[in-house]
Structure 1
Amino acid sequence: MFGAAAVSGIFSVPFTQAASNDGMLAPESFTELAKKNSPAVVNIRTERSGGGASQMFRGFEGNPYGNDERFKEFFEKFFGGRHQKEFKQRSLGSGFIIDEDGHIVTNNHVVEGADKIKVFLKDGREFDAVVKGRDPNTDLALIKIKADGKLPMVELGDSDDAKVGEWVLAIGNPFGLEHTVTAGIISAKGRVIGSGPYDDFIQTDASINPGNSGGPLINMNGKVVGINAAIIAGGTGIGFAIPVNMAKGIIAQLKSNGEVSRGWLGVGIQDLNKDLKEYYGIKEGEGVLITQVFKGDPADKAGIEPKDIVLAVNGEKVDTSRALSRLIADKDVGEKV
């Protein structure tokens, strides 16, 4: 869908120097990063069952003309038998191994609805995988393989520390081309693309294509800072990755519970526009207005009222309703804020 991002050694800088400068300088080569992390990146192939052409006629279970066999033969001749063979839908994606137990992080849309999941490692091993848990709201999923031997792993980094302009590496299986490595920079952070209620994407110009979904976005220290998830159709050099810091808590919950529970205040909220900020004397970039409080929910029990303004959560300032929603969602149920 896009052309590969052009990456060349603009500066003659050793790899170690690039890492020591927080990835802001272009390394002479990405070879060591690719060599270190590629073995833990997996190719995921899924298979889903789909209905045949006769599926659309399943509602016609009865014969409106009674038991006349002529009509039965007519419908079967032109529309096929009721038990027509189902076809299989196959898809490709990527993922990465995070521990010796065989847990693999990928995107929810890679494995959602799959009847069969196959995982292929760079060393030639292949495994059947099972879904441990999925979170459609963030498009994250955790699957697991059972391996007798040792498994390669990636190391999770800190996406909060990632800076716009830093070099990153994407590894995945675009169009089934296994372990393709592309490089680029972090173009922006905190992107909202309308994919869900907790959008907070890292934007990158590292080439990402169909099949890259679920693969890692890696910084110059060799640590995962994002999970590649989406592209803009028709765009070039515009890809999006889920920040790994958002993913860490979700992965932990999927591993232990198989599902995700989120904090909930029980309020209606809205951003403060310029006029409202002036009216309430709020500084630019601070505050979210409470428009409604649902009776019996946590906010109501805590004494929060409509027209209250939330300036911060546990000392962390909030300036948009989306930011407040993300902060609260990250809290454990029952945790005090």
Structure 2
Amino acid sequence: MSYISGKQLCIGLIAATLTLSAGGFTRVSAQEIPNDFSAIVRQKLPAVVAITTRQIIQDQPTLDDFLNPFDGRGPVQPQVREALGSGFVISPEGYIVTNNHVVADSTEIHVVFSDKETSPARLVGRDPATDIAVLKVDPRPNMTIAAWGDSDAMQPGAWTIAIGSPFGLGGTVTVGVLSARSRDIQAGPYDDFLQTDASINRGNSGGPLFNARGEVIGVNTAIVSPSGGSIGIGFAVPSRTARSVADQLIRTGRIERGYIGVRLQEVTPSIAEALGIAGTKGALVASVEAGSPAQKAGIQPGDVITRYNGKDIQGVHDLTLAAANQKPGSTATLTTSRGGTQQDLSLTVGQRKDEEVQTGAVPSQGPGDQRLGLALSPIPDEA
């Protein structure tokens, strides 16, 4: 997996067309099927920036340096690593959204606007778990802003437009369609990516993915690429997630995630048979943390959580996302199956106890620490 973003298409479609519907043919307006995307690009291009970063790498002394301290080479010199990425302005105050992996561990950050003006940027906060970061530059006169759109309203087949700086080529526009939603690419515990076939490449990371109305519905983040170039499989953090994370980072510099205090296991056919339940949907509770919201609500090991706040839970990943995305202190309703009997429970969502630093960074964890809101654990073969 390599990181991302930008296939420019020239689309010549008639001003209005007919589509087949259940009741016959329905006329589709020209606004829904644009002749091209030049108007949107002209309006939104100034809101998209290129990001350049510098990182000082301190080389570790080698054994030879200690054995031959007077060989004339002098002290080990630090190395400078430079990286490129993309981002977009979200407020007149100069806040810019990008990817965490674009700016992580950087000692210098600069943004380059579409008019080639360069400004130093300050890191406001970052969230490695969702790969979102927020920068701040001094406001410019009449700064163009990219407005958030509704990623949940996007359906496969809808137009998507990526603008960014692949390989340092600022202002590159590529177009495709939304290929799929809710992709889990095993990049992190909160994977919920939009998939697009708009051509995105190295350097597009952190750039916006627009809908046909010019609203940001995703932040380009990753690609599947055997060669390092685009093969038409790209992924973007949905605006639902990116906007929430960015708002929290701007407001407090840190991220709050919901926590209910259970360890989970996927429901396999053999487990479903043993529990006497039909199908493998839901998340099996392997253990419940003492004093947690789940224990206080009466959830027990062996319960299968099948619904959360009225939405079906297909598996562990669904429940992890649902709990993490809920505001601590709010009330959640769960449906559980115990011994074939369903029951509805309510609990007050807690806050994940990880001590995130003010940059929003998640601290490094030990090999045995898997707690990220909802921690996952296999059930032992023997009870």
> Structure 1 residue 253 and structure 2 residue 270: aligned?
no
In 1, Cα distance between equivalents of 2:145 and 2:5: 29
In 2, Cα distance between equivalents of 1:168 and 1:271: 34
> Structure 1 residue 57 and structure 2 residue 62: aligned?
yes
Structure 2 unaligned residues grouped into runs of 5+: 18-27, 333-383
1:93 shift after superposition: 0.3
Name the CA shift for 1:284/1:161 in 2 (closer, same or farther; >3 Å).
farther
In 1, Cα distance between equivalents of 2:125 and 2:330: 23
Which residue, 18, 29, 33 being the options, matches 1:17? 29
Name the CA shift for 1:162/1:3 in 2 (closer, same or farther; >3 Å).
closer
1:286 shift after superposition: 4.0
In 2, Cα distance between equivalents of 1:243 and 1:278: 36
In 2, Cα distance between equivalents of 1:252 and 1:285: 37
- Contact 2:5–2:164 under 8 Å retained in 1: no
In 2, Cα distance between equivalents of 1:322 and 1:188: 17
In 2, Cα distance between equivalents of 1:59 and 1:14: 73
Deviation per residue, 1:37-69 (Å, 9 max, x gap):
1110001000111235xx3338976x7xxxxxx
In 1, Cα distance between equivalents of 2:299 and 2:93: 44
Q: How does 1:53-92 map to 2 (within 5 A)?
A: 55-57=60-62, 72-73=69-70, 76-77=71-72, 80-82=73-75, 84-92=76-84
In 2, Cα distance between equivalents of 1:265 and 1:3: 35
Instruction: Tell me which residue corresponds to 1:266.
Output: 261
- Contact 1:14–1:28 under 8 Å retained in 2: no
- Contact 1:107–1:213 under 8 Å retained in 2: yes
Name the CA shift for 1:3/1:176 in 2 (closer, same or farther; >3 Å).
closer
Structure 1 vs Structure 2 CA RMSD: 2.5
Name the CA shift for 1:150/1:238 in 2 (closer, same or farther; >3 Å).
same
> Structure 1 residue 306 and structure 2 residue 301: aligned?
yes
Amino acid at match of 2:285: I
1:316 shift after superposition: 1.9
Deviation per residue, 1:282-334 (Å, 9 max, x gap):
56574221111111222112221011121222212211110110110011222
Amino acid at match of 2:208: P
Instruction: Tell me which residue corresponds to 1:47.
Output: 54
Which residue, 197, 201, 204 being the options, matches 2:196? 204
Which residue, 211, 222, 226 being the options, matches 2:214? 222
In 2, Cα distance between equivalents of 1:271 and 1:230: 26
1:33 shift after superposition: 1.3
Instruction: Tell me which residue corresponds to 1:159.
Output: 151
- Contact 2:5–2:205 under 8 Å retained in 1: no
Instruction: Tell me which residue corresponds to 2:349.
Output: none
Instruction: Tell me which residue corresponds to 1:7.
Output: 9
Which residue, 240, 247, 251 being the options, matches 2:235? 240
Instruction: Tell me which residue corresponds to 2:285.
Output: 290
User: Matched residue of 1:114: which SS?
Assistant: coil
In 2, Cα distance between equivalents of 1:108 and 1:14: 42
- Contact 2:8–2:199 under 8 Å retained in 1: no
- Contact 1:105–1:141 under 8 Å retained in 2: yes
Instruction: Tell me which residue corresponds to 1:67.
Output: none
Amino acid at match of 1:168: T
User: Matched residue of 2:287: which SS?
Assistant: strand
- Contact 1:19–1:220 under 8 Å retained in 2: no
- Contact 1:43–1:95 under 8 Å retained in 2: yes
Q: How does 1:127-166 map to 2 (within 5 A)?
A: 127-166=119-158
1:194 shift after superposition: 1.3
- The TM-score with structure 2 as length reference comes to 0.77
- Contact 1:95–1:106 under 8 Å retained in 2: yes
- The TM-score with structure 1 as length reference comes to 0.87
User: Matched residue of 2:156: which SS?
Assistant: coil
- Contact 2:265–2:316 under 8 Å retained in 1: yes
Deviation per residue, 1:191-231 (Å, 9 max, x gap):
11111111111111100000000000000111111100011
1:86 shift after superposition: 1.8
Instruction: Tell me which residue corresponds to 1:68.
Output: none
Instruction: Tell me which residue corresponds to 2:166.
Output: 174
Name the CA shift for 1:3/1:262 in 2 (closer, same or farther; >3 Å).
closer
User: Matched residue of 2:121: which SS?
Assistant: strand
- Contact 1:266–1:293 under 8 Å retained in 2: yes
In 2, Cα distance between equivalents of 1:323 and 1:29: 37
Name the CA shift for 1:284/1:155 in 2 (closer, same or farther; >3 Å).
farther
Instruction: Tell me which residue corresponds to 1:35.
Output: 42
In 2, Cα distance between equivalents of 1:72 and 1:223: 59
Report % sequence identity: 38
User: Matched residue of 2:322: which SS?
Assistant: helix
